[in-house]
Chain A
Amino acid sequence: MEELMRVEGLKMYFGGLKAIDGFDLVINKGETLGIIGPNGAGKTTLFNAICGVYKPTDGKVILEGKEVQGTPAFEMAKLGIARTFQISKPLRGLTIFDNIVAAAGVQEYTGIGSYFHKSHTKEVEDKVEAIIHETGLSEVANKKASDVSLGYLRRLEIARVLVTDPKLIMLDEPCAGLSNFAINEITELIFKLKEQNRSIVLIEHNLPLTMRVCDRITVLSYGKKICEGTPEYVKNDEQVIEAYLGKEDED
């Protein structure tokens, strides 16, 4: 398999708190990689350090052979690393359609020059319409983001990621707070993305879902990788069971 991204010895310290402490990861093209771990393990921090929301304390992030660690988040997006947020960040005052148009402009936001380029061209609108169908947002296309339910907002996050033609899709708990019904819909959507051979990193607390969709899983605990492998392998690893359930008392 061809390597897309490599993370080497990544460290993210906040003062004395070692949120991520020497983390290595390889993401291959076309694979779905899951990152799981107990609450507070550092999963979202890891995302933020990779995506440029935080500047890593140390370590490398290598995208297709180029070092990109410490690049600001907006430039990471232009490089093709697209992420969703655990807590949805819709543009509440805009329609669902315009939310996706906004993301479609990823390569257009050049500063003053962007004044001279129209945003809603036919080309952009066609692309947005296709993504809207793909993510099942057609019914609410003309609704303001403030007026739709969380299930739609989750899909909006994924739609905004897709419209940027990303090299790597990073999903931060796309199912958090959803009903079983809505979770199934998101799962279906992730399977659809898998079929398109996209490279995906998924953080998810819903273990059955993660086991089902991921090719490989990395387990994070207290900022360190404690296990990595196929879902089957990870499921039976003692350290993983310990991290989730605690150790049995010796006495």
Chain B
Amino acid sequence: MNSSYLFSILATASIFTLLALSLNIITGYAGQAMMGIAAFFGIGAYTAAIITTHDGNFLLALLAAMIVSGVFGAVLGVISLRLQADFLAITTIGINFVMAAVFNSLKITGGTLGLTTSKPVIFGLKMNNMYFFIFTTILIVIVCLLITKMRHSWFGMALASIENDPGAARSFGINVSKYQILAFIIGTALAGLTGGIYSHRMGFISSTDFAFVVSIQIVSMCVIGGLGTLRGPIFGAVVLTVLPEVLRFADNYRELVYALLLVIMVRFMPEGLLGDDSPVWKFLVGLFRKIKPRKKTRADLIAEKAKAGEYELSGEGGQA
């Protein structure tokens, strides 16, 4: 295996990781069934491509891809987030088909011929696969840090509450639709940014790159790894990008493999291979904890003290 082939796979894997992370914000953290992430991936890809073919700066093009995709996300979010679970899923599937058809017919997107992009230059470096991989990986690290900060903020608490029970969330002051739309905007903007990277790394894009099938692949990545965690979508994206390369001989059956994996996972392990409640993850954590015990949380300390009888309890408690 030569290094250019390796970096080609790594570049693809890193791009899909970033895309999976963007879906994870909407579906994993905010609990919105989004089945059309490829539409926003495409909006970003075309936006950036159009800007750079008109001699725009690559980084500015990425920024524009983010903004345009986020604005689309905001508009569609306001319209479709009134819908609940299944209906939202169907609506977003519809959005995906409509956008793919739009990409395929507009003149500015090159119609069925698609668009050709030139390899951008950042800080004097002509971007090859290796640089794309490094660039995207840096973005992944930044996104992970931002998401980790979110998880420890009231914003994260609001999303977690909504994901668990919107009715309860409202009862303690959370404007559910506002937060859902914010999550939708953040997720679609990130998908747009990823699209901008993708179109320049590929050198050529056409509407089939953003078909519904791509959305399903991204959903599969998140579900197989574990929605609502950071490690899950990253793991899922890497595995599902590398696996087809390893199974090159079965290339014609790639979509079948995705579909089968998805069905098997949803049926037998809905929390994903590395989800918090997954036996695999629990086993791994168990091994790790033997070396380094978990830092006790405030809640653990309270429960321990209570069990040791240090507090006066109102009763034996909790027998329904």
Interface residues of A (CB under 8 A from B): 51, 53, 72-75, 77-78, 82-83, 85, 89-98, 101-103, 105-109, 111-112, 114-120, 125, 128-129, 132-133, 135-136, 138-143, 148-152, 155, 160, 164, 177-179, 181-182, 184-185, 188-189
Give CA–CA (A34, B179) in the complex, Å.
Answer: 35
Give CA–CA (A74, B178) in the complex, Å.
Answer: 11
Chain B nearest CB from A228 CB (Å) reads 27
What would be 19 A-B contacts, judged by CB atoms less than 8 Å apart?
Answer: A77-B172, A89-B171, A92-B164, A95-B299, A97-B298, A98-B157, A102-B160, A102-B161, A103-B172, A114-B153, A129-B298, A138-B302, A138-B306, A139-B307, A141-B299, A141-B302, A141-B306, A149-B319, A178-B320
Q: Is the CB of B320 within 8 A of A108?
A: no
Mark contacts of B189-202 with chain A using CB atoms, 8 A cut-off: 1 yes-contact digit, 0 otherwise: 00000000000000
Q: Is the CB of A109 within 8 A of B175?
A: yes
Residues on B with beta carbons closer than 8 Å to the beta carbon of A107: 173
Residues on B with beta carbons closer than 8 Å to the beta carbon of A98: 157, 160, 299
Given contacts A129-B298, A136-B317, A149-B320, contact A118 B175 (CB under 8 A): no
- Residues from 110 to 159 in B contacting A, C-beta threshold 8 Å: 149-150, 152-158
Q: Give the contact stretch, choosing among B56-64, B238-246, B308-316.
A: B308-316
Q: Is the CB of B303 within 8 A of A141?
A: yes
Number of chain B interface residues as a range: 35 or more
**Does B305 sit within 8 A of A, measured CB to CB?**
yes
Residues on A with beta carbons closer than 8 Å to the beta carbon of B317: 136, 139-140, 151-152, 185
Given contacts A101-B157, A105-B158, contact A91 B164 (CB under 8 A): yes
**Does B81 sit within 8 A of A, measured CB to CB?**
no
Residues on B with beta carbons closer than 8 Å to the beta carbon of A120: 152, 298
Residues on B with beta carbons closer than 8 Å to the beta carbon of A78: 173
For A106, A125, A138, A149, the residue with the greatest tally of chain B CB atoms inside 10 Å of its CB is A138
Residues on A with beta carbons closer than 8 Å to the beta carbon of B303: 138-143
**Does B300 sit within 8 A of A, measured CB to CB?**
yes
Residues on B with beta carbons closer than 8 Å to the beta carbon of A73: 170-171
Give CA–CA (A85, B299) in the complex, Å.
Answer: 24
Give CA–CA (A120, B160) in the complex, Å.
Answer: 14
Report, nearest first, the 6 A-B pairs whose CB atoms are least far apart: A97-B299, A138-B306, A150-B320, A91-B164, A106-B173, A136-B314
Given contacts A91-B164, A94-B164, A185-B314, contact A117 B153 (CB under 8 A): yes
Give CA–CA (A184, B316) in the complex, Å.
Answer: 12
Q: Is the CB of A149 within 8 A of B318?
A: yes
> Quick one: which of B160, B163, B175, B320 contacts A182, CB cutoff 8 A?
B320
- Residues from 160 to 184 in B contacting A, C-beta threshold 8 Å: 160-161, 163-165, 167-176, 178-179, 182
Q: Is the CB of A119 within 8 A of B168?
A: no
Q: Is the CB of A136 within 8 A of B315?
A: yes
Give CA–CA (A120, B149) in the complex, Å.
Answer: 12
Chain A nearest CB from B144 CB (Å) reads 15
Number of A-B contacts (CB under 8 A): 178
- Closest A residue by C-beta to B165: A89
- Closest B residue by C-beta to A126: B298
Query: Known pairs A112-B182, A114-B153, A132-B302. 4 more at Cβ < 8 A?
Result: A85-B171, A119-B157, A139-B306, A140-B303
Give CA–CA (A108, B317) in the complex, Å.
Answer: 31
Chain B nearest CB from A83 CB (Å) reads 6
Give CA–CA (A83, B172) in the complex, Å.
Answer: 9
Q: Is the CB of A111 within 8 A of B172?
A: no
Give CA–CA (A217, B307) in the complex, Å.
Answer: 39
**Does B3 sit within 8 A of A, measured CB to CB?**
no
Give CA–CA (A178, B320) in the complex, Å.
Answer: 5
For A120, A164, A188, the residue with the greatest tally of chain B CB atoms inside 10 Å of its CB is A120
Give CA–CA (A250, B315) in the complex, Å.
Answer: 50
Q: Is the CB of A105 within 8 A of B173?
A: yes
Q: Is the CB of B165 within 8 A of A91?
A: yes
> Quick one: which of A92, A118, A140, A143 contacts B153, CB cutoff 8 A?
A118
Give CA–CA (A151, B178) in the complex, Å.
Answer: 33
Give CA–CA (A126, B316) in the complex, Å.
Answer: 24
